[in-house]
Structure 1
Amino acid sequence: MPFFHGASGFTVEHSQLNEVAGDQFIVHGTDGISKLYESVAAEALHDAMERSNAPRCMEGTRVQLQEDFMSWVYGTHDSADWTDRLWMLGAAGSGKSSIAQSIAETCAEKKILAATFFFSFRSQKTNNFTRFIPTIAYQVALAIPSTREFIAAAIVKDAAIVDKSLKAQIYALILQPLALAREKHPDELWPYVIIIDGLDECEDEEQQAAILNILHECINTPQFPFRIVIASRPESEMRKYFGGLGSSRTHRIDLNEDYDVEPDLEIFFGVSFALIRTKNLIQDEWPAEEDVAELISRASGQFAYASTVVEYVKDKSRQPKERLRQVLGIHSDATQEHPLSPLYALYDSILRKCPDPKESALAIRLVNNTFISPNKFVAAAAIRNTLLGYGVDAWARAFDNLHSLLFIPEYDDFSAGYKIRHKSLLDFLQSEEHANDLYFSHTAVQTVTAIRFIRMFERKCFSSACARTNADPRVLAALELNNNVFAYYLLHSDRKSPDLVQLLRNTNISSCLHLGETRVYLLPSALNEIWTAVHHRDLGVSGPHFMFASTVRQTVFFRNSALF
């Protein structure tokens, strides 16, 4: 039916007539886009006022990474390694947002940026997916003028579209307008890069998954013209998607593995301290080279540490030398703010998102308990998981949200071990003042380890038949090595711990140490420590342990420390 069929006696001014999906209606000027803007998260745009002071890559840093990124951006369908999405993953504090901001600005300058969305847990507008599609659609309307009339028409046709499902939104506000615009302007060149930063800061994991899935559907639509960049921590939903459904046609950039950032950190500290020297009229060569080297080492490749240090040192107090001494630990005043408080707040926020924050904090301490053995094999994740009594479910609950703080191998990995990404993380967890209820003393960690060892011995070694038939030989080998350090845990445990005392009363440690027919080799010092531990007067245990003492002296063979 034609427009205004049967109508008379009226005029239309400054309006546009549209027909979308067979429906005819009037779009009054820019009313549709104005209405859409009401559902936009303006602070999620790369050039938003709120992002005026957002961190960017300092000149001369991240050069190779940015070159690699732009090479990917300019790749064509004809390229053998062409992909339509890029996942830039990195630990907390690795500089993902700075890189995303810099790359967004570069793409905008080159007129190839279609849209951005910077998620942030700090804002109710950017910590969920409610405004995600409207914000992307609004930017597409600005970046690709030929789509504007169709996006506006979609809003006028159905003002409630912004409250419907992601699938309905992306079809009405992006896919259909793109198709109509392309039909009308088949040869028009469009910006084609969409950058999504901090998807892990979308607080609901189901919403993260929903965004990934809807983008996946779009990418598999032939008419979809965009290349998608997602920057995030390697959290659960991202690992699940990019390890499965999104594994093909995805280019990965791993900030923790693919680039050596120490030269960039050296540039960053050099430029930053030069500015501080100028501002504070410092004439001498400061700081010392060895101090800068120490800061680079402590940063563990994380720019969050470096920027936090610089912000603290350049504080308006104008005492940069004194504040740097505090950072380096040369001088500390408990009455002053801790230099790394912002970084500690980041660690705390990550841990608080775990199902059981205290268990996850303890898990970090346990797997970093290096006295388990410096032997590379015994450091393997599968061995440590067994020794520490982690079943698959408990392991997932403790570690699943910690990938931005730890390198976490697969549960049954017998080759790779856990690796702390941030040295300052342990400083945080070992400080009762800063970790608060996430703090565990050294004694508490050793006590928990001793208890878990004993329980593991009970499960794995209750009989020689078990040792021969059910136990993994690699685990048995680890048990041989770790009998030596079991003594250490007992010696450094809280010997008044009710759980530990009860276990020592009820467990046949002698049988455990025999491992059935497997001979256990203990260093003389370890044997003496076990003797001391189980007979310490504070334990209040007796009976079987006197038998254990004589048995262990008769049956345990001594070997040198090469076993470690």
Structure 2
Amino acid sequence: MVAPADWTSCDRIRLSAEGIRSHFVWLHGPMGSGKSALAQSVCQKLKEEGRLGGGFFFKRGHPSRGNAQKLFPSIAYQLALLFPELKQHISRTIENDPAIVDRSLSIQLEELILNPCRITRLTHPVPIVIDGLDECDGEHVQQTILRAIGSALSQESLPILFLVASRPEAHIRETLAEPCLAENHRALNIRQSFGDVRKYLEVEFDRIHHAHETMTAIPFPWPEAEIVQRIMRDSSGYFIYAATAIKFIDNKRFQPPERLDVILGIGHTISGSPLNHVDELYLDILSGVPEDFHPRLLQILIFVREGLSMREICRVLGLQVGELRLILRGLHSVIRVPKLDWGEVWAHHASFWDFLDDPSRSGAFHVGSRCRTTLAFQLLKTLSCNLDQSTW
């Protein structure tokens, strides 16, 4: 597996001795392979060194983090904070053209980032990290982002380093094979790493042991090395299984050893690919919701995918916030439930939506067209009631 330090030090992407060159690294790997964790590590390392130009982490369905129009303005803002010499030029661009945030992605990149870098003639590298490209608006938009970066890098040499992380989707691979990108990027593949997963598990179990009051009588280290080894083996080297298992165990309403026993029971009953283990874990977590709540749960999950807030979901479904929290109570390992009622609800990992979309994997929890149709009628009914109230 690529180490967090590799991107900032390896010869393939560092500034060459002959002069400043722009570089573009595509970090790719399958679902749950740890791309986001690595991107976050790179950002953290660069930030600690005071060298991070900007970072943007796409999240599917999120109102702002799923919107590509936020990408380059967000990075420009971060650049302005880090480099005072860039701030005045970026600010002037926005003052002269307030609508720049609504213009095409290529124009935003050119006017908000590239032009200020040209004018100030930066001589040190400016690393920019973009994670989860495959989770933004749509395939066409993802391709547009790649082409905008490729076009900028093919025209001139600027001290800008792009690290873009995504799944190896076909349309992304095809775009990177186009002339303006084929010779201007390097591909780094994240492969399964049992060692990294083991280190992650050891650190997290250590944290859980110290954080939970119920663990004071449990000997440390906990659990035994054989159990850590077993979970690592079940993960097949993929972080998504390990991370979801840790979130499941790290629930303050339960004793960690009891939750760990559930995880070990899952691993004992199935075999095969890590996807099977992830599916079984998702099924077990969803099955923990009382059966009476299941019809509502499927409806709620559809709106969670759209990035709605707690209050918005309750308004459409006619629920009280307390009812919604009760239904989602056992899902914190897969769903982020905000403390504030107006906060947005979303899934921790995009693989959860892949699971729900595939009936062969999610079974009774498949969010199919029938469920969506029923919910569409419910939404229309709510809108109709709101319209009647406003006209009254």
TM range (shorter): 0.5 to 0.7
> Which stretches in structure 1 are left out of the alignment for 5+ residues?
1-61, 183-187, 363-428, 439-564
Maintained 8 Å contact 2:27/2:187: yes
Q: Does 1:253 align with 2:192?
A: no
Maintained 8 Å contact 1:100/1:195: yes
Superposition pairs of residues 226-241 of structure 1, within 5 angstroms: 226-241=160-175
Using the size of structure 1 for normalisation, the TM-score is: 0.47
Give CA-to-partner distance per residue, 1:478-497, whole Å, 9 cap, x none.
xxxxxxxxxxxxxxxxxxxx
For 2:196, give the aligned amino acid: D
Query: Using a 3 Å threshold, how does the CA distance of structure 1 residues 221 and 284 change in structure 2: closer, same or farther?
Result: closer
For 2:54, give the aligned amino acid: A
Which residue is 1:68 aligned to? 6
Tell me how far 1:92 sits from its aligned partner.
1.8
In the alignment, the residues of structure 2 paired with residue 340 and residue 168 of structure 1 have an alpha-carbon distance, to the nearest angstrom, of: 40
Give CA-to-partner distance per residue, 1:466-523, whole Å, 9 cap, x none.
xxxxxxxxxxxxxxxxxxxxxxxxxxxxxxxxxxxxxxxxxxxxxxxxxxxxxxxxxx
Tell me how far 1:291 sits from its aligned partner.
2.7
In the alignment, the residues of structure 2 paired with residue 323 and residue 307 of structure 1 have an alpha-carbon distance, to the nearest angstrom, of: 14
In the alignment, the residues of structure 1 paired with residue 223 and residue 250 of structure 2 have an alpha-carbon distance, to the nearest angstrom, of: 13
Q: 1:215 aligns with which of 146, 149, 155?
A: 149
Which residue is 2:94 aligned to? 155
> Which stretches in structure 2 are left out of the alignment for 5+ residues?
270-283, 290-329, 336-346, 370-392
Query: Using a 3 Å threshold, how does the CA distance of structure 1 residues 317 and 175 change in structure 2: closer, same or farther?
Result: closer
Maintained 8 Å contact 1:116/1:195: yes
Tell me how far 1:432 sits from its aligned partner.
2.5
Tell me how far 1:238 sits from its aligned partner.
1.7
Q: Does 1:432 align with 2:342?
A: no
Tell me how far 1:229 sits from its aligned partner.
0.4
Tell me how far 1:240 sits from its aligned partner.
1.4
In the alignment, the residues of structure 2 paired with residue 178 and residue 117 of structure 1 have an alpha-carbon distance, to the nearest angstrom, of: 19
Superposition pairs of residues 499-538 of structure 1, within 5 angstroms: none
In the alignment, the residues of structure 1 paired with residue 264 and residue 51 of structure 2 have an alpha-carbon distance, to the nearest angstrom, of: 44
Which residue is 1:33 aligned to? none
In the alignment, the residues of structure 2 paired with residue 166 and residue 284 of structure 1 have an alpha-carbon distance, to the nearest angstrom, of: 52
Which residue is 1:264 aligned to? 196
Superposition pairs of residues 195-206 of structure 1, within 5 angstroms: 195-206=129-140
In the alignment, the residues of structure 1 paired with residue 175 and residue 92 of structure 2 have an alpha-carbon distance, to the nearest angstrom, of: 34
For 1:269, give the aligned amino acid: L
In the alignment, the residues of structure 1 paired with residue 139 and residue 126 of structure 2 have an alpha-carbon distance, to the nearest angstrom, of: 27
In the alignment, the residues of structure 2 paired with residue 224 and residue 191 of structure 1 have an alpha-carbon distance, to the nearest angstrom, of: 8
Which residue is 2:339 aligned to? none
Give CA-to-partner distance per residue, 1:227-253, whole Å, 9 cap, x none.
110011112332112234423232222
Tell me how far 1:180 sits from its aligned partner.
2.2
In the alignment, the residues of structure 2 paired with residue 106 and residue 206 of structure 1 have an alpha-carbon distance, to the nearest angstrom, of: 32
For 1:267, give the aligned amino acid: K
Q: 2:233 aligns with which of 297, 305, 312?
A: 297
Give CA-to-partner distance per residue, 1:9-56, whole Å, 9 cap, x none.
xxxxxxxxxxxxxxxxxxxxxxxxxxxxxxxxxxxxxxxxxxxxxxxx
**SS state of the match for residue 117, structure 2?**
helix
Tell me how far 1:141 sits from its aligned partner.
2.3
In the alignment, the residues of structure 1 paired with residue 205 and residue 190 of structure 2 have an alpha-carbon distance, to the nearest angstrom, of: 25
Q: Does 1:321 align with 2:321?
A: no
Give CA-to-partner distance per residue, 1:121-160, whole Å, 9 cap, x none.
2421121221222222222222332222222222222222
Maintained 8 Å contact 1:344/1:434: no
Q: Does 1:88 align with 2:52?
A: no
For 2:69, give the aligned amino acid: T
Query: Using a 3 Å threshold, how does the CA distance of structure 1 residues 339 and 293 change in structure 2: closer, same or farther?
Result: farther
For 1:177, give the aligned amino acid: P
Structure that is richer in helix per residue: 2
Which residue is 2:74 aligned to? 135
Q: 1:242 aligns with which of 176, 182, 195?
A: 176
For 1:233, give the aligned amino acid: R
Query: Using a 3 Å threshold, how does the CA distance of structure 1 residues 267 and 171 change in structure 2: closer, same or farther?
Result: closer
Maintained 8 Å contact 1:348/1:435: no
Maintained 8 Å contact 1:277/1:283: no
Tell me how far 1:338 sits from its aligned partner.
7.8
Which residue is 2:275 aligned to? none
For 2:136, give the aligned amino acid: C
Maintained 8 Å contact 2:205/2:223: yes
In the alignment, the residues of structure 2 paired with residue 164 and residue 203 of structure 1 have an alpha-carbon distance, to the nearest angstrom, of: 16
Q: Does 1:347 align with 2:351?
A: yes
Maintained 8 Å contact 1:142/1:148: yes
Maintained 8 Å contact 1:162/1:169: yes
Tell me how far 1:339 sits from its aligned partner.
9.7
Quote the RMSD (CA, aligned, Å).
3.2
For 2:9, give the aligned amino acid: S
Tell me how far 1:220 sits from its aligned partner.
1.4
Query: Using a 3 Å threshold, how does the CA distance of structure 1 residues 133 and 436 change in structure 2: closer, same or farther?
Result: closer
Which residue is 1:173 aligned to? 112
**SS state of the match for residue 66, structure 1?**
coil
Give CA-to-partner distance per residue, 1:354-404, whole Å, 9 cap, x none.
xxx55xx66xxxxxxxxxxxxxxxxxxxxxxxxxxxxxxxxxxxxxxxxxx
Query: Using a 3 Å threshold, how does the CA distance of structure 1 residues 347 and 435 change in structure 2: closer, same or farther?
Result: farther
Which residue is 2:246 aligned to? 310
Maintained 8 Å contact 1:155/1:161: yes
In the alignment, the residues of structure 2 paired with residue 101 and residue 111 of structure 1 have an alpha-carbon distance, to the nearest angstrom, of: 15
For 1:273, give the aligned amino acid: F
**SS state of the match for residue 10, structure 2?**
helix
**SS state of the match for residue 211, structure 1?**
helix
For 1:311, give the aligned amino acid: K
Maintained 8 Å contact 1:86/1:228: yes
Q: Mean Cα displacement is larger for which, 245-254 or 203-212?
A: 245-254
Query: Using a 3 Å threshold, how does the CA distance of structure 1 residues 340 and 157 change in structure 2: closer, same or farther?
Result: closer
For 1:327, give the aligned amino acid: I
Query: Using a 3 Å threshold, how does the CA distance of structure 1 residues 274 and 170 change in structure 2: closer, same or farther?
Result: closer
Query: Using a 3 Å threshold, how does the CA distance of structure 1 residues 287 and 173 change in structure 2: closer, same or farther?
Result: closer
Query: Using a 3 Å threshold, how does the CA distance of structure 1 residues 169 and 301 change in structure 2: closer, same or farther?
Result: same
In the alignment, the residues of structure 2 paired with residue 225 and residue 114 of structure 1 have an alpha-carbon distance, to the nearest angstrom, of: 11
**SS state of the match for residue 160, structure 1?**
helix
Which residue is 2:126 aligned to? 192
Query: Using a 3 Å threshold, how does the CA distance of structure 1 residues 296 and 248 change in structure 2: closer, same or farther?
Result: same
Maintained 8 Å contact 2:153/2:184: no
In the alignment, the residues of structure 2 paired with residue 227 and residue 165 of structure 1 have an alpha-carbon distance, to the nearest angstrom, of: 21
**SS state of the match for residue 5, structure 2?**
helix
Identity percentage of aligned residues: 29
**SS state of the match for residue 287, structure 1?**
coil
Which residue is 2:58 aligned to? 119
